[in-house]
Structure 1
Amino acid sequence: MFNNSNKILFVMIMMMGTMITVSSNSWLSAWMGLEINLLSFIPLMSDNNNLLATEASLKYFLVQALASAVLLFSIILMMMKNNMNFEINSFFTTSIMLSSLLLKSGAAPFHFWFPNIMEGLSWMNCLLLMTWQKIAPMMLISNTNIKMILFFSIILSVIIGSLGGFNQSSLRKLMSFSSINHLGWLLMALSINEVIWFIYFLVYSFLSFVLIFMFNNFKIFYFNQMFSLLFQSKVLKFCLFLNFLSLAGLPPFLGFLPKWIVIQQLSLNNQYFMLMILLMTTLITLFFYLRICYSAFMLNYFENNWNNMKIFLNYSIFNYHLILSFFSIFGLIFISFLYYMF
């Protein structure tokens, strides 16, 4: 539908909209940045050759337009309260605003649209939806001060994100429920400290990029494709499944680092109930990731002899996979070594 130069232009406009929202000093300008971000991401999603992508872009537009309308309504109520001395409960307006921002980010209980839209997108658009599109609403969530609703959303996000990953044959749906689970951790990190949120977001974005880089290069969308293709390369197979475990937060991989920081801060702040919920749901997530990876890690695992499908590895791309996987798998060890050195 668009050539590469147009796509680059839309990506730049999308980033500009996010920057406007993050750097704005009023709610109205933040809302304008969100709209610029939305209208520039829709053309990237739609594709005339893929009806699922077009349907996903339409669903995304409707959901985000609804969230933007509710956000604008809450902004108007807040301006009427501040400038016209209207008797409006501030808790009510802030709750509406927080709910609209949670809907925009895809956090539970407003997550219903996220897995369905992810299923119809390409892997690069999935990466943008899982990472960059969460920056602006989460920065606005940090400006609200209703902890009760935020903690309720965190608990639901980690529970739904962990339980939703069971019995999934689609990798895009699995990544979407994993994103909902990580979104609960991100909101928890945001409620503690923005620096901790930034570290968590950087690590999560990197790990998601490593996995999606592999899936996109080999055009893998379902588990049966992954087992039939990647078993041709033993090194690639181990890298992929170790990256899965790193994304799940299993030590000693890099994905455990931000969760380690959040666990430490929660224990220092005596928030043991939230810590217990987060750890229990992470164990559930680790269970189904380990169930996927268990057969691949067995040394005496017998593969199908009738699988004659051969893949021709581009060795430059293969080397990129190995380098990215190296940082994902051994990153925590190097960070710990540098910490004790300096």
Structure 2
Amino acid sequence: MNPTMYSIILSNVAIGTIITMTSHHWLLAWIGLELNTLAIVPIIAKQHHPRATEATTKYFLTQAAASAMILFASTVNAWTTGSWDISQLTYPPACALLTLALSMKLGLAPLHFWLPEVLQGTSMNTALIIVTWQKLAPISLMFMVHNSINPMIMLIMAMISTLTGGWGGLNQTQMRKIMAFSSIAHLGWMAGILTLNQNILILNLSLYIIMTTPMFLMLKYTTSKTIKDLTTMWTTSPQIAAPLMILLMSLGGLPPLTGFMPKWLILQELVTYNLAPIATIMAISALLSLFFYLRLSYIATLTMHPTTTKDSNKWRFQPKPLTTPTMTLTMLSLLLLPMTPLFCP
């Protein structure tokens, strides 16, 4: 793709998200979501490969259906209340429909069906955009209407998402699909705290982006697309192997790493609201995610490939990107737990 056109399209992705995050009118928010969706479609399809075309079609149809549901819900609400203001969402059927639409846009279970397939058909850079930046606009809308969302619906979807993210990742060999199910599990934790404490939601989203970004950058740096590719990482990129193992533990939520902070605060908040059974189920489901993170770290750093390679390069030379942002974000992903008291009420 022409670099000029690529930069313009990426700018439109950013502008669409910013329009949605800063709007107070439902139509303006919907326009931002549509601009965001239409801008990222050519980015997914730019590989000119059948799998990329399939991923583009699935992404477009899912996002278009969710956007149509958002527009319909806002129209029904405006018809009933006479207001197009986002904060004036008071009609219960419109609230339920909007919750389903935003959950589909995010990839919350049981509306997660599109996310693993779309990520598998894209490049690492595009997959990173989809699981980080593309979550900002729907979550900002959920944040603005959190008073209108039924807490029990969100808690049930949160439990289903954390369980689906854990179970789904166990049987995968493709790294992008594993990261997709990891994203679904993390979104489940965000959905669980959405209606209870919005400050922890923002903290969880921020830490999720901080942890997921270096993970994708490391996979891109080592050209690792499957679990099998991780077995030769120690020869091609020995400096990446140790940080990758600790980063996977942080994604799994092990103390004393950064990833433990949002899980700790969310479980504490759930128990405060007398939701101990839900907190227990979500904590147990986190063990499923931790299992496949442990499997990845074991394969990448604690074992050696049976046919030991003497070659220090992959079969095709790749341009080496700038590693400063990767290592900076990796440090943040590992060492922020001591700052937890700053975020506690």
TM-score scaled to structure 2, two decimals?
0.87
Superposition map of 1:222-237 within 5 A: 222-237=226-241
Decide which moves more: 73-82 or 274-283.
73-82
Superposition map of 1:270-281 within 5 A: 270-281=274-285
Q: How far apart are the structure 2 equivalents of 1:314 and 1:49? A: 21
1:284 aligns with 2:288: yes
Residue number in structure 1 paired with 2:71: 72
Amino acid at match of 1:272: A
Residue number in structure 2 paired with 1:3: 2
Structure with more relative contact order (C-alpha pairs < 8 Å, separation 6 or more): 2
Residue number in structure 1 paired with 2:206: 202
Residue aligned with 2:231, SS:
helix
Residue number in structure 2 paired with 1:117: 118
Change (3 A) 1:287 1:180: same
Superposition map of 1:39-54 within 5 A: 39-54=38-53
Aligned length: 330
Amino acid at match of 2:112: H
- How far the C-alpha of 1:323 sits from its partner, in A, is 4.4
Residue aligned with 1:195, SS:
helix
Q: How far apart are the structure 1 equivalents of 2:327 and 2:81? A: 56
Residue number in structure 2 paired with 1:310: 312
Any idea what the Cα deviations from partners look like across 1:82-114, whole Å, max 9, x if unmatched? 249xxxx93222211211111111111111111
Q: How far apart are the structure 1 equivalents of 2:46 and 2:111? A: 26
Give the RMSD, CA atoms, in angstroms: 2.5
Tell me if the contact between 1:229 and 1:309 (Cα under 8 Å) persists in the aligned partners: no
For structure 1, which runs of at least 5 residues remain unmatched after alignment?
A: none
- How far the C-alpha of 1:22 sits from its partner, in A, is 1.5
Q: What percent identity do the matched residue pairs reach?
A: 32
Any idea what the Cα deviations from partners look like across 1:216-241, whole Å, max 9, x if unmatched? 12221101111123344444212112
Q: How far apart are the structure 2 equivalents of 1:319 and 1:23? A: 31
Amino acid at match of 1:116: E
Residue number in structure 2 paired with 1:61: 60
Residue number in structure 1 paired with 2:91: 90
Q: How far apart are the structure 2 equivalents of 1:308 and 1:264? A: 50
Amino acid at match of 2:167: L
Tell me if the contact between 1:231 and 1:237 (Cα under 8 Å) persists in the aligned partners: no
Amino acid at match of 2:52: A
1:329 to 313, 330, 334: 334
For structure 2, which runs of at least 5 residues remain unmatched after alignment?
A: 84-89
TM-score scaled to structure 1, two decimals?
0.88
Change (3 A) 1:275 1:216: same
Any idea what the Cα deviations from partners look like across 1:288-323, whole Å, max 9, x if unmatched? 22233235565xx55535423312898984666544
Decide which moves more: 278-287 or 142-151.
142-151
Residue number in structure 1 paired with 2:86: none
Any idea what the Cα deviations from partners look like across 1:93-141, whole Å, max 9, x if unmatched? 2211211111111111111111111100111111111111111112222
Residue number in structure 2 paired with 1:15: 14
